Amino acid sequence: MFLKFFSKNSQPPNDLELVQRYQETGDLAYVGELFERYTEMVYLICRKYLPDEDASKDATMQIFEQLIENLKKHQVTNFKSWLHSTAKNHCLMQLRAQKSKPTISLDADPILSMQLNPHLHLGNNEVENQEQDWQLLEKAMAELPPEQRFCLELFYLQEKSYQQIAEQTGYDLNRVRSYIQNGRRNMKIYVEKHHDPT
């Protein structure tokens, strides 16, 4: 794929360079290269959240189709982390669309639970309010710096230890701890500021 853009002696561009070149040119070949690099990662994320293989394959394709528009709208500094969040949010939205799924509960994850904000207490039948709070929490997560967001996702959603996060990200333990603590605090501030108790 790169023969069209690069000589044999040039190094393949990194993720951020591909994103920037796509944003500058609109050439879908750059998105195609990102797709080749991260298809397996996105599929595995989808498999974690969605009920079967076919649904995961469909979701993987939908996520990359959305990249064509989303990459034009967002300033991406860490593509892999951003794509991880995008894939996770896509799967959660699919699950929430299936009203019969009992897995969608704010209490299912510590980040989304009462310890984040005591006002976010939902009954089982409060579907509309639940959806609004999910959207608010997703917005709060999206507002975090990439390092905080990625560490929070690893810690809460993937249940990684501080040590495992440090090994995966290359951050030292103190930095991991700081990112998680500051991320939780920033999310709490955002939710308290924007949550409508009515």
Of all helices (H) and strands (E), which one includes residue 178? helix 173-194
Cα(first)–Cα(last) distance of the chain, in Å? 53
**Gap between the Cα atoms of 120 and 127, Å rounded:** 13
Question: Taking the C-alpha atoms of 107, 114, 146 and 73 in order, what is their torsion angle to the nearest 10 degrees?
Answer: 80
Q: What is the DSSP letter of 4?
A: G
Of 186, 156, 151, 149, give the one whose Cα is nearest residue 172.
Answer: 151
Q: What would the mean pLDDT of 49-67 be, rounded to a whole number?
A: 87
Separation in Å, CA 42 to CA 62, 86, 112, 149, 196:
11, 9, 22, 17, 33
Query: In this predicted structure, what is the pLDDT of residue 167?
Result: 87
Least confident of 56-60, 93-97, 178-182: 93-97
Per-range mean pLDDT, top range of 30-44, 84-98, 144-158 = 30-44
For the ranges 103-117, 134-148, 154-168, which has the lowest average pLDDT?
103-117
Per-residue model confidence as pLDDT tens digits over 113-135: 433 333 344 344 444 555 666 67
CA–CA separation, 31 and 19 (whole Å): 7
Domains and CATH numbers, the chain: 1-103 (1.10.1740.10), 105-198 (1.10.10.10)
Question: Which helix (DSSP H) or strand (DSSP E) does residue 61 occupy?
Answer: helix 53-73
